[in-house]
């Protein structure tokens, strides 16, 4: 991946709705060369997918939680069972398996506390291997960015 590929990716992360013509102009390539590079980045899986980012505050009240989950036993099959439940839960927008004092960090978005209680029953309390969890409720989202940092080569 060279500097032009990185410029293409950086530009697309800011606005993936650009036409190929506009993208080519923004990065200083011919439209055909730009299209060829974008297709290659998609074929290699560098560009996974294109999505629309929604403004949660425009769609009604929603709570964002950071949930630290500690498992009872460190066992692959038990972790996989928990992950299956987490990945199926639409309330979980991000899931990280981490090192340290906790095993998983979940980012959970729900409409209200009743919805969070239902999520806890369905996902967290339903797992016999879950020892404990701690919920941090976001009072205000200060920064949210979907961009991937692209260090210079």
Q: What is the pTM of this model?
A: 0.85
Residue 131 and residue 91 in one domain: yes
Residue 143 included in any domain: no
Give yes or no: residues 61 and 112 share one domain: yes
CA distance 40 to 69: 39
Reported as a single tens digit per residue, the pLDDT across 17-51 is 999 999 999 999 999 999 999 999 999 999 999 99
Here the CATH number for the domain that contains residue 9 is: 1.10.10.10
Give the distance from CA 105 to its chain's centroid.
Answer: 12
Q: Rounded mean pLDDT of 80-95?
A: 96
- Whether 28 maps to a domain, the answer reads yes
Are 117 and 65 part of one and the same domain? yes
Residue-number span of the structural domain to which 72 is assigned: 56-137
In the sheet with 104-110, reading across from the earlier edge strand, the strands are 92-97, 104-110, 63-71, 130-137
Distance of alpha carbon 98 from alpha carbon 118, whole angstroms:
25
In the predicted structure, residue 130 carries a pLDDT above the cut 80: yes
Residues 96 and 132 occupy one common structural domain: yes
Domain-located, residue 118: yes
Q: Are both 61 and 33 inside the same structural domain?
A: no
H or E stretch covering 114: helix 113-119
CB 107 within 8 A of CB 65: yes
Residue 152 has pLDDT above 80, yes or no: no
User: Does residue 113 contact residue 62 with C-beta atoms inside 8 Å?
Assistant: no
CATH number for the domain that contains residue 62? 3.30.70.920
In a domain, 142, yes or no: no
How far is Cα 49 from Cα 34, in angstroms, rounded to an integer?
Answer: 18
Task: Let me know whether 7 and 78 are in one domain.
Answer: no
């Amino acid at each position: 991946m060279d500097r032009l590929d990185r410029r293409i990716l950086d530009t697309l992360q800011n606005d993936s709705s650009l036409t190929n013509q506009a993208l080519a102009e923004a990065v200083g390539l011919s439209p055909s060369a730009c299209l060829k590079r974008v297709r290659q980045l998609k074929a290699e899986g560098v560009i996974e997918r294109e999505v629309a980012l929604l403004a949660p505050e425009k769609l009604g009240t929603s709570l964002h939680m950071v949930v630290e989950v500690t498992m009872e036993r460190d066992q692959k099959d038990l972790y996989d069972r928990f992950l299956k439940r987490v990945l199926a839960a639409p309330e979980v927008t991000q899931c990280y398996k981490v090192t340290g004092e906790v095993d998983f960090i979940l980012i959970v978005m729900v409409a209200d506390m009743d919805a969070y209680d239902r999520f806890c029953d369905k996902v967290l309390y339903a797992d016999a291997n879950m020892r404990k969890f701690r919920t941090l409720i976001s009072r205000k989202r200060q920064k949210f960015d979907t961009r991937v940092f692209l260090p210079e080569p």
